Amino acid sequence: MSIATILGVIFGFGLFVGSIFLSTDNVFIFLNLPSFIMVMGGTLAATFISFEPRFVIHSLRTMAGILLAHDVGRAILTHEVGRVIRWGYVIQKGGLAGLEGDAAKARKLDRFLSYGIDLVITGYTGQEVRDILANTVETTFNRNTVYSDILRNMGSTAPAFGMIGTLVGLIIMLDKMGDDPSALGPGMAVALVTTLYGVLIARLIFLPAANKVQQREEIVRFRNYLLAEGLALLAERKSPRYIQDKMNSYLDPALHFSIDSMMRDKS
């Protein structure tokens, strides 16, 4: 689970609910089912009109997925450098056939890595491997960020339906004002709840989720570019130490992999 995300959701809604309890005794005025239906229903309806249904459904699943921990963390990047360096030694000793045997398990777990290793084993040059994988990285990133774009669109749509709900409430309130002028205040409060729902849902659900999905895809893209460079260096038969220095140049110095430290640990 992504503890930071869960705490952020709890803290955000907790502050909102806590402020209400501290401000008024009539907390139930903030609960209005028709207002919620108008905002959420209108937002979902507009989204399904704007985008293909399968993309919308997958976007909602992706939004729920941000509550889970991300697979690609900082330590993973150092691990990737070390793995490619190990394959450099494997190629030095046993050639590309050795790489195919050593990387068999990793290929089952990672499609991008499997594809890149296939390119190296096929015999493409380093630049060809680099170009093909760069295209793969970018097209994959563009496909996956469609979901963050949809969530961002939902975040911009929800406040609009909040305003629509408020206008509907005002129309109904003004229509009844002649019969009971005393209902003007409570009616106005209920009408404004819809705008509140629209802004709250946008700013605490859809937009933060879109940003996190986007950031996670950017992290994956960076990791894949790092791997692409390492695989290209393997295709060029560069030395493990050159591979180390070139791949480390992509990383924060605190994450640099060290062959010397690895050798000391083994001894």
> Would you list the domain boundaries of the chain?
1-29, 32-256
d(CA 222, CA 205): 26
Burial (CB count within 10 angstroms: exposed 0-12, middle 13-18, buried 19+), residue 63: buried
Query: With a cut of 50, which residues of the chain have pLDDT below it?
Result: none
Residue 12 is predicted with a pLDDT of 92
Instruction: Express each pLDDT in 189-213 by its tens digit.
Output: 777 899 999 999 999 999 999 999 9
| Of 164, 167, 166, 184, nearest in space to 176 by CA | 184
Q: If residue 35 lies in a helix (H) or strand (E), which one and from where to where? A: helix 33-50
As given in the structure block, the two tokens for residue 38 are 């108008």
- How would you write 146-168 as a 3-class SS string? HHHHHHHHHHHHHHHHHHHHHHH
d(CA 25, CA 190): 16
Residue 200 is predicted with a pLDDT of 95
The whole-model pTM stands at 0.88
| Of 105, 112, 106, nearest in space to 144 by CA | 112
Burial (CB count within 10 angstroms: exposed 0-12, middle 13-18, buried 19+), residue 18: exposed
| Of 55, 53, 42, 219, nearest in space to 149 by CA | 55
Residue 66 is predicted with a pLDDT of 92
- Count CB-CB contacts under 10 A for residue 180: 9
Residue 264 is predicted with a pLDDT of 64
